[in-house]
Amino acid sequence: MPEKLKVELVTAEGRVLSEEADFVVVPGKDGELGILPHHISLLTPLKPGEVKVVNDGNEEFLFVSGGFVEVLPNRVVILADAAERAEEIDEARALEARQRAQAMLADNRSGDAVAALERAVFRLHVTEIRRRRPTRSGPKN
Amino acid sequence: MASLLDLRRRIKSVKNTQKITKAMELVAAAKMRRAQERLLAARPYADEIAGVTEELMRRSSGHRHPLLQVREVRRRCLIVITADRGLAGALNSNTIRLALREMNSTPDIPCSVVSVGRKGRDSLRRMGKQFVADVSSYGDRPTLGELLPAMRVAMQEYTRGEVDRVDVVYSQFASAGRQEATVQCLLPIAIPEVASGPAVDFEYEPEARDVIDALLPRYVEAQVYRAVLENIASEQAARMLAMHSASDNASDLIADLTLTANKVRQATITTELMEVVAGSAAG
């Protein structure tokens, strides 16, 4: 049996995910990071994007709007700023946020507005993936 | 002596009040349980952040992040966390009193306030304190995002040098029967010394100091968030207790009033009987 990674995704509000995986992809600040078991210990910030957890051929996507990943040889801890299950993402809200962010961008190109837009876009993106390819529903926590 | 009708009316009104206080007690008990669960749920994140931060600080002592700078205290800031609603015993007034004592302990140093919660905001505003930010009406289940503005403002004030020290005042949840108003120093960040566990040789990407820059604000946020969650648990516990004793008092009052009402009723009957007897004797 191949070795597995223990993946944990925690936010300030609680633990969102805690399960075994073969392979994890996280949106690192400097680009996507694929993590397999026995990865070197690593600590790096994340940018808004999707986390992909692969286990026995099943793929699960989660959205993070930033945070950190702590990689230990057989454990990956994602300290997410806000993690939501993709099906929980309210598409209308994301769209609204995007419009708001765009309106803000129009008069002021501030860093906050750019980040808000980035988040909104990624939320929509993950929702689309969900719709195209329904995967198994995650374990109930 | 009050008339029988008045007494009956009062009994009825006290009974109605008792119904409300009993209901509030039950609601507070349920909410307290949920608040405790949320407090537990927030723990893994806070522990991980604290663990990683401590680990990092031990390795890169050379880097001085603005949030770590210790300066001479010329101006202070207090984050005052209170409930949005009253009817929670002495909870809010204890917190506010502690906040005032904290301010008065250094009378020469100007102190600004970041209020979280309506009760603290209202009474401190009446006293003419200087506010820099306010987050109120956060409800029973605030997300970190809702509370973030308060923390951001406090950290900005600190990094800009507007204030040289930030403390949080809140009600610590010791148990369902005990809540204590507490002051905790938030900035400059004091990393607690921990017995070093098995040291992990982390790789940092892009660099250790970039990771620290991103990590420290979240460390502070997690601390304030926990304080707010504790305060909510305390609020519900205090309300539960306050409403319980209010219901008890209502029971006592009802018993008292009922006794008086019965006495009045009997006295009336006795008087009427005497009149009848006197009347028939005369006739």
- Here the CATH number for the domain that contains residue B14 is 1.10.287.80
Cβ–Cβ of B205/A42 closer than 8 Å?
A: yes
Calpha distance B111→A58 (Å, rounded) = 55
Is residue B210 a contact partner of residue B98, using CB atoms and an 8 Å limit?
A: no
With bands split at pLDDT 50, 70 and 90, how would you rate the model's confidence at A127?
Answer: low
> Beta-carbon neighbour count of residue B117 at 10 Å?
25
Facing B44 at nearest CB: one of A15, A29, A70: A15
Greater pLDDT, B149 or B6: B6
Taking only the tens place, the pLDDT of each residue in B102-121 is: 999 988 889 888 888 888 88
Greater pLDDT, A115 or B223: B223
- In this structure, the answer to whether residues B230 and B247 fall within a common structural domain is no
Asked if the C-beta of B214 comes within 8 angstroms of chain A's C-beta atoms, the answer is: yes
- In this structure, the answer to whether residues B130 and B212 fall within a common structural domain is yes
User: For position B193, what pLDDT does the model report?
Assistant: 60
Mean pLDDT across chain A: 73
Is residue A46 a contact partner of residue A78, using CB atoms and an 8 Å limit?
A: yes
CB interface of B with A, residues 189-208, below 8 Å: 200-206
- In this structure, the answer to whether residues B259 and B202 fall within a common structural domain is no
- In this structure, the answer to whether residues B208 and B176 fall within a common structural domain is yes
- In this structure, the answer to whether residues B136 and B75 fall within a common structural domain is yes
User: For position A96, what pLDDT does the model report?
Assistant: 52
**Beta strand ranges found along B137-260 (DSSP E):** 165-175, 178-187, 203-204
Calpha distance B59→B207 (Å, rounded) = 12
Average pLDDT over residues A120-141: 57
Residue of B nearest to A43 (CA): B204
Average pLDDT over residues A48-67: 87
Question: Could you tell me the two tokens for A23?
Answer: 């392979």
Cβ–Cβ of A28/B205 closer than 8 Å?
A: yes
Q: Which strand (E) or helix (H) includes residue B236?
A: helix B208-282
- In this structure, the answer to whether residues B90 and B225 fall within a common structural domain is yes
Question: Could you tell me the two tokens for A79?
Answer: 């300290």
Give the list of residues 6+ apart from residue B197 with CB closer than 8 angstroms, or none: none
- In this structure, the answer to whether residues B120 and B186 fall within a common structural domain is yes
Is residue A127 a contact partner of residue A62, using CB atoms and an 8 Å limit?
A: no
**Beta strand ranges found along B62-136 (DSSP E):** 76-81, 111-116, 130-135
User: For position A87, what pLDDT does the model report?
Assistant: 41
Calpha distance A62→B254 (Å, rounded) = 58
Q: Is the pLDDT confidence value at A140 over 60?
A: no
Q: Which residues of chain A neighbour B48 with C-beta distances below 8 Å?
A: 10, 70, 77, 79
- In this structure, the answer to whether residues B60 and B90 fall within a common structural domain is yes
With bands split at pLDDT 50, 70 and 90, how would you rate the model's confidence at A116?
Answer: low
Domain spanning A5-86, CATH architecture: Sandwich (2.60)
Q: Which residues of chain A neighbour B145 with C-beta distances below 8 Å?
A: 82
Residue of A nearest to B144 (CA): A12
Cβ–Cβ of B144/A68 closer than 8 Å?
A: no
Question: Could you tell me the two tokens for B10?
Answer: 């009062």
- In this structure, the answer to whether residues B236 and B247 fall within a common structural domain is no
Q: Which amino acid would we find at residue B36?
A: Q
- In this structure, the answer to whether residues B149 and B12 fall within a common structural domain is no
Helix (H, G, I), strand (E, B) or coil at B44: helix
- B/e letters for B193-203, b = 16+ CB within 10 Å, e = fewer, are eeeeeeeeebe
Pick from B64-78, B86-100, B228-242: least confident: B64-78
Greater pLDDT, B123 or B166: B166
Calpha distance B78→A63 (Å, rounded) = 35
- State the DSSP code for B113: E
Q: Which residues of chain B neighbour A40 with C-beta distances below 8 Å?
A: 203
**A interface with B, Cβ–Cβ below 8 Å:** 8, 10-15, 28-30, 40-45, 67-68, 70, 72, 77, 79, 81-82
Interface test with A, best of B218, B219, B221, B224 (most A CBs within 10 A): B218
Could you give the number of structural domains in chain B? Answer: 2
Calpha distance A106→A54 (Å, rounded) = 39
Give the list of residues 6+ apart from residue A20 with CB closer than 8 angstroms, or none: A4, A5, A6, A7, A55
Q: CATH code at B200?
A: 3.40.1380.10
Q: Which residues of chain B neighbour A11 with C-beta distances below 8 Å?
A: 45, 144
Mean pLDDT across chain B: 86
Calpha distance A50→A93 (Å, rounded) = 18
Give the range of the structural domain holding residue B158, as residue numbers without chain letter.
Answer: 29-240
Asked if the C-beta of B139 comes within 8 angstroms of chain A's C-beta atoms, the answer is: no
**Beta strand ranges found along B117-263 (DSSP E):** 130-135, 165-175, 178-187, 203-204
Q: Is the pLDDT confidence value at A56 over 80?
A: yes
User: For position A122, what pLDDT does the model report?
Assistant: 63
With bands split at pLDDT 50, 70 and 90, how would you rate the model's confidence at A30?
Answer: confident
Cβ–Cβ of A70/B46 closer than 8 Å?
A: no
With bands split at pLDDT 50, 70 and 90, how would you rate the model's confidence at B63?
Answer: low
User: For position B235, what pLDDT does the model report?
Assistant: 94
Q: Which residues of chain A neighbour B45 with C-beta distances below 8 Å?
A: 10-15, 79
With bands split at pLDDT 50, 70 and 90, how would you rate the model's confidence at B24?
Answer: very high
With bands split at pLDDT 50, 70 and 90, how would you rate the model's confidence at A85?
Answer: very low
β-pairing, A49-55 with A58-64? antiparallel
Q: What are the angstrom distances between the C-alpha of B22 and each of B17, B29, B144, B177?
A: 9, 11, 32, 18
- In this structure, the answer to whether residues B138 and B213 fall within a common structural domain is yes
- In this structure, the answer to whether residues B12 and B36 fall within a common structural domain is no
Taking only the tens place, the pLDDT of each residue in B182-211 is: 998 888 887 666 555 556 667 777 777 778
Residue of B nearest to A16 (CA): B41
Calpha distance A5→A73 (Å, rounded) = 8
